[in-house]
Amino acid sequence: MYIPRRNIMKKKLFSVFAAVLVLVICIAALVACNPYKADSIGSGDSSAAVESNGGYVVKQGRFIYFINGYVGESADNAWGAATKQGIVRAEIKDGKVDPKSAKLVVPKSVYNSSNVGGIAIHGDWIYYTSVNTDKDKSGTASTVNTDFMRTKTDGSVTQLIGTIGTRSAKYLFTTSRVLYYTDNTIGYIDFSGMNDKATDKGKGAVKGTLVEKVENVVWSYDTDAIYYVQTAPSEDSYKNYNNLCTIKADGSGQKVLATQNTFVAEGKDPVQDQLNVFKYNILNLYVESNGDCTLYYTKSHTLNSTSVSDGLFMAKASNVKDSEKNLNTIASTTLVPLGYAEGALAYNSNSVYCWYNGDEKENPVQVTTTSQTIWKVDQQKGIVYFTASSSASSISKISYREAKDNATVIMEEGIKTDWLVLDFIGDDFYFFASKDDNYLHTINLSTFDKDAEDAESTYIGCPTDRLDDKDE
């Protein structure tokens, strides 16, 4: 049978078109399945020890990973668009960060309204938060939700773990789940079921609730224990107490550390002995060298239907009743924990930091004479590093063990302090420099001389293309 040549050509053209169409569809499908495609920047030190998890600068072996600048929630959050407020990796050479080695690992805006949390590294994954930009039916992007995400330390794989409906939740990443506290609930997203190829909306991750009716919570990257205050059971809601509790991140080890009858004498009725029945407000914790935790909290009791403050306390989590110490008769809520042996630095009634060790409640060592913000304490040397609360134009140091006003200014540069806290790794101090559009800078506290002619912090906060511009 004779087939016209033009029909043959039509069939060939159709076949080619169909093949191209299939290829396009396949490519589109691949892109849709992997919206965070990126090339590897080279392996890191995934088996090395990690320092400073939870800050905006984290060290792992010979590398540091850091949020390279501050933009806020207004940053372009599309994958590949963010070169500022993304995560950058730089190598440490001869004890110093090499700015020229900086490489962008996460080209996405890393942000959360909470001023604690930062980023974390476990093994070969970087964990972080980002503002969710999913669009509703009208095409409007919602920027009030938070995406929990992770990226390989070499940048090759990025995954969405899950999303929550707030941008200000307190959170913590463990090796298998992210914990978050919002709406009086400690929730979690368990990502242990995710594999290295799961890129579609947290496939394999499981969301759940750890504890409900939580009034406040403290946790740390240095312990798997979580400490919280829980509302009294509904049947006791008329009583003026709550429970100081603990639980592990995996949901095990739940325990009440102090409750309505903890400090009530044996044989006495808690209802009739309200002076020794307390409400707790947990503020912070300190992980001791033996693994035990020292808890810091305020207490109050009810007298003639009026709440009366009992002050600031600390106690060992292993035995709250027998180890409790009253640090300050004032219910100080602003404090820096120093551990059970040394107590805490805490605000007094005049909003001035004092050193409370449990022995001198009425006459403690006064550390500052004006309102300050403390960023780091070197307990071995007894040194406090701080900025003035009214103006973060410098960082200073002072001894907290001596009652004298002898603060020394270390550096005089504008510092952005209203987002994540300033970060320290050893003697290296990292900060967002307001003089340089809030890009990341660093100095070494032991070698930096502010009076030197060339005194200047080291600029490390951007990819190498902008570093070249800075050198011109």
- Residue 466 clears pLDDT 70, i.e. is over it: no
Tell me, what's the pLDDT at 248?
Answer: 98
Structure confidence at residue 304 as a pLDDT band (50, 70, 90): confident
pLDDT, averaged across the chain: 87
- Residue 15 clears pLDDT 60, i.e. is over it: no
Indicate the SS3 state at residue 349: coil
Tell me, what's the pLDDT at 50?
Answer: 96
Cβ pair 115, 420 in contact under 8 A: yes
| 3-class SS letters over 254-322 | CEEEECCCCCCCCCCCCCCCHHHCCEEEEEEEEECCCCCEEEEEEEEEEECCEEEEEEEEEEECCCHHH
- Residue 20 clears pLDDT 50, i.e. is over it: no
Tell me, what's the pLDDT at 6?
Answer: 55
Structure confidence at residue 121 as a pLDDT band (50, 70, 90): very high
Most confident of 27-41, 329-343, 401-415: 329-343
Structure confidence at residue 2 as a pLDDT band (50, 70, 90): low
Tell me, what's the pLDDT at 28?
Answer: 44
Tokens 């022995």, located at residue: 359
Lowest pLDDT segment from 170-184, 237-251, 298-312, 415-429: 415-429
Average pLDDT over residues 10-20: 50
Of 80 and 175, the one with more pLDDT: 175
Of 6 and 419, the one with more pLDDT: 419
Average pLDDT over residues 84-91: 92
Tell me, what's the pLDDT at 77?
Answer: 81
Q: How far apart are CA 55 and CA 445, in angstroms?
A: 18
- Residue 376 clears pLDDT 50, i.e. is over it: yes
- Residue 140 clears pLDDT 80, i.e. is over it: no
Nearest to 174 by CA among 187, 159, 190: 190
- Residue 193 clears pLDDT 80, i.e. is over it: yes
Indicate the SS3 state at residue 208: strand
Number of other CB atoms surrounding residue 382 within 10 Å: 14
Tell me, what's the pLDDT at 31?
Answer: 45
Q: How far apart are CA 161 and CA 148, in angstroms?
A: 5
Structure confidence at residue 461 as a pLDDT band (50, 70, 90): confident
Tell me, what's the pLDDT at 153?
Answer: 96
What is the token pair recorded at 302?
């009810």
- Residue 353 clears pLDDT 80, i.e. is over it: yes
Tell me, what's the pLDDT at 143?
Answer: 76
- Residue 24 clears pLDDT 50, i.e. is over it: no
Structure confidence at residue 403 as a pLDDT band (50, 70, 90): low
Q: Indicate the DSSP class of residue 145.
A: S
Structure confidence at residue 33 as a pLDDT band (50, 70, 90): low
* H or E element, residue 467: helix 464-471
- Residue 457 clears pLDDT 70, i.e. is over it: yes
Structure confidence at residue 87 as a pLDDT band (50, 70, 90): very high
Q: How far apart are CA 73 and CA 56, in angstroms?
A: 16
Q: How far apart are CA 95 and CA 105, in angstroms?
A: 22
pLDDT digits (tens, 9 = 90+) for 218-261: 999 999 999 999 999 988 877 899 999 999 999 999 999 999 99
The phi, psi pair for 391, rounded to 5°, reads -155, 115
Lowest pLDDT segment from 116-125, 314-323, 362-371, 388-397: 388-397
Q: Indicate the DSSP class of residue 343.
A: E
